[in-house]
Chain A
C-alpha cells in the first residue's frame, strides 16, 4: 500500500493560482469556497522585501485531530495515509473544522457536509495525479509515494532541506515544503 505525500517546492511557485482553479473545477467546489489556497507572504522592510508563496491544503496528517474528534467516523484515515470524508456519515457538526490547526476544512454550503482536499482520491484510483499537481505549470507541487525510495517525492525529500507546517501541534503532516529561501552556504 502506498503512502501518499505531497512535496511543495516553494521556489518554483509563481503564484498563478492555476492549482486553485483546477481544484475547484475538478472537485466541483462551491463559489467562495476553496480546498487549496496560495498564501503570499511579504516579509521585511521596504525596499528589502522578499515574498514567500505558500500553497496550503489539507496536510493529510499521520495523527489527524479532525479524525480523532469526528463523532460519527465520517472523517477517517485510509490505508494509503490520506484523510478522507465519508459524506454520508457527516452530520455537519463542524467539530473537525475547529480541530484542524491548518484551517483547511469548510462546510460545503450547497450540501452541508464538511469538505476539504482529498488529494483527488477519485483521480488516484484511476492512476492519475491530483488535479493541482497535474496543472502546476512551475512543477511546484509534486505528488507520490513516500514508501517508494525511487519516487520523485522520496528523492526530493532526501536531497533537499524541507519543513512541515506547524510541527509543534504534533499532527505529523504529509505535505512537505522545500524551503523557498535555503540558507546560503
Chain B
C-alpha cells in the first residue's frame, strides 16, 4: 500500500511534535517535587527510634521543593505560545479538564509548600531571616510542622499523579491513553523523591531508610512499566503500533529503543546496588565508597525517572489514529 498526502499541515500531520523537552522537564520536576513532598513528610512523621533524624539537614528539603517546582513551571511557561494570556488559567475552572485541575492544584500547593518550608526551618536559620514578618510566620508555623507534613503527603500524591492523568486522558494518543500511566508517574515521582532524599541526607540512618523505601518503589515502577507495555501489546492495532518505536532498532526510532535500554540498565542496577547497601555492613560513619555507591544508585533512579518522562512525551506524540482511516 502506498500513501500520498497532499496539502497537509506539516505541524499536525502525519507526525505531531507539539510538546517538547520543556513539557517533559516539567513532568519530571513536577513528579520529583510531588515525590519529595511525600518523602520529606514521611521523614518527619516516621518514628525515629529516639534519634534526631537529620534535623540539621532535613529542613533543606521542604525549602528545595518549591524551588524545583518553580523551575518546572518556568519550563512549562516557556512552552506556552501566549505566555501573557496565562492568567486565563485562573479565570476558569473546567472540572473535566485535567490541565485545569493541574493549574489549580499548583496554585493551592504553593502556599502549602511555603508554609511547610517555613515551619521546617530550624531556629538558628529562622533567626537569620531579616524580615520580621517572615520570621514571625516561621515561628507561628513551627508547631504545626507535623500537620503540614501530613497534608503534604496528600498534596504530593495529587501533584505527582495529575501529570499522568493529564496524558492518560488523551484518547487521541494511544500510548498515553492508559489508566496505568498515572500510577507509573506517581511511583516514578515517589522513587525519584526518595533518591534525592538519599543524596541530600547526611546521616547513615536516613540514607538507609530511604534506600529501603526506594528498593520497593523501583521494583513497583519496573512492574508497572512492564504492565503498561504489556497492556498496549495485547491491545488493538493502534496500541500495538504505539509501543513499536521502543522495540524498533531503525534509525528513526533509535532514541526510543535507547530509552528502553537505559531504563533496563538503570533501574535494575539501582535495585541491585541498593540491595547491597542495605544488606552490607556499614561502619558508624559511612565510608567514601559507600557514599559514592549510594549517590550513584540514587542518580541512576533520577536518570530513569527523567528518561521515562522524556521517552513517553515524545513517543506518545508519534502514536495516533492517523494511519487507521
Q: Chain A residues near B83 (CB, 8 Å)? A: 91
B6 touches A38 (CB 8 A): yes
- Contact (Cβ within 8 A) A32 B10: yes
Tell me how far the C-beta of B9 lies from the nearest C-beta in chain A, rounded to whole angstroms. 5
Given known contacts A15-B6, A43-B1, A93-B99, A72 and B171 CB-to-CB distance under 8 angstroms: no
Residue of B nearest to A20 (CB): B7
Q: Which residue from chain A places its CB closest to the CB of B20 in the assembled complex?
A: A94
Residue with the greatest number of chain A CB neighbours at <10 A, chosen from B92, B317, B325? B325
Smallest CB separation, A76 vs chain B (Å)? 10
User: Which residue of A has the minimal Cβ distance to B98?
Assistant: A69
Does A89 make an interface contact (CB < 8 A)?
yes
* CB–CB B170/A91 < 8 A: no
Residues of B within 8 A of A94 (CB): 18-19, 79, 81
The interface residues of chain A lying within 8 Å CB-to-CB of B234 are none
| Size bin of chain A's contact surface | 35 or more
Q: Which of B11, B94, B170 contacts A70 (CB 8 A)?
A: B94
Please give me the residue from chain A that is nearest to B101 by CB atom. A71
Interface segment out of the listed A1-9, A102-110, A135-143, A151-159: A102-110
Q: Mark A48-89, 1 if CB is under 8 A from B, else 0.
A: 000000100000000001001111111000000000000011
Give chain B residues whose Cβ lies under 8 Å from the Cβ of A41. Answer: 3-4, 325
Does any Cβ of A come within 8 Å of B131's Cβ?
no
A interface: dominant SS: loop
Contacts of B102 in A (CB 8 A): 71
Are A54 and B4 interface neighbours, CB within 8 A? no
Q: Decide: B170 and A37 in contact? CB cutoff 8 A.
A: no
- Residues of chain B from 1 to 53 with CB closer than 8 A to chain A in the complex: 1-14, 16, 18-19
Q: Binding site of B, secondary structure by majority: helix, strand, loop or mixed?
A: loop
The minimal Cβ–Cβ distance linking B275 to chain A, given in whole angstroms, is 39
- The residues of B that contact A93 with a CB separation of less than 8 Å are 79-81, 99
Nearest-neighbour CB distance to chain B for A95, whole angstroms, equals 5
A114 to chain B, nearest CB (A): 8
Q: Find A101's partner among B4, B8, B88, B171 (CB 8 Å cutoff).
A: B171
> What is the bound-complex CA distance between A20 and B9, given in angstroms?
11
Does B173 touch A at the CB level, under 8 Å?
Answer: yes
Once the chains bind, are A34 and B9 in contact (CB under 8 Å)? yes
**B107 at the A interface (CB under 8 A):** no
Q: Is the CB of A54 within 8 A of B325?
A: yes
For B86, the chain A residues whose CB sits under 8 A away are 91
A30, B317: Cα distance in complex, Å: 23
Contacts known (A41-B4, A70-B97, A103-B16); A33 close to B88, Cβ less than 8 A: no
With A69-B169, A103-B13, A107-B11 in contact, do A92 and B85 touch (Cβ < 8 Å)?
Answer: yes
Q: Are A98 and B317 in contact (CB under 8 A)?
A: yes
Does A113 lie within 8 Å of B3, measured CB to CB? no
| Closest beta carbon of chain B to A86's beta carbon, Å | 9
Q: Does B82 contact A (CB under 8 A)?
A: yes
**Contact at A71–B92, with CB atoms within 8 Å?**
yes
**What is the CA–CA distance of A73 and B103 in the complex, to the nearest angstrom?**
13
A128 at the interface (CB under 8 A from B): no
Taking a contact as CB atoms under 8 Å apart, the answer to whether B170 and A169 are in contact is: no
- Choose among B13, B19, B82, B91 the residue with the greatest number of A CB atoms under 10 Å from its CB: B82
Q: Does the CB pair A37–B171 fall under 8 Å?
A: no
Q: Tell me if A97 and B170 are in contact (CB < 8 A).
A: no
As a 0/1 sequence over residues 195 to 217 of chain B, the CB contacts with chain A under 8 angstroms (1 = contact) are: 00000000000000000000000
Contact of A112 with B82 in the complex, beta carbons under 8 Å: yes
> Using Cβ atoms and an 8 Å threshold, which residues of chain B touch A68?
94, 96-97, 169
Give 15 pairs: A residue, B residue, CB < 8 Å, sorted on A: A37-B8, A41-B4, A42-B1, A68-B97, A69-B98, A71-B89, A71-B102, A71-B103, A91-B81, A91-B82, A91-B88, A97-B18, A103-B9, A103-B14, A106-B12
Interface residues of B, Cβ cutoff 8 Å to A: 1-14, 16, 18-19, 79-83, 85-86, 88-89, 91-92, 94, 96-100, 102-103, 166, 169-173, 316-317, 320-322, 324-325
CB-CB nearest 10 A-B residue pairs: A92-B81, A112-B81, A101-B172, A71-B99, A71-B100, A72-B88, A92-B82, A94-B18, A103-B12, A112-B82
Q: Given A40-B4, A98-B170, list of 15 further CB < 8 A pairs?
A: A34-B7, A36-B7, A38-B6, A41-B4, A69-B170, A70-B97, A72-B85, A72-B91, A72-B94, A94-B79, A95-B166, A99-B171, A100-B172, A106-B11, A113-B81
Interface residues of A (CB under 8 A from B): 15, 17, 20, 32-34, 36-44, 54, 65, 68-74, 88-95, 97-101, 103-107, 112-113, 165-166, 168-170
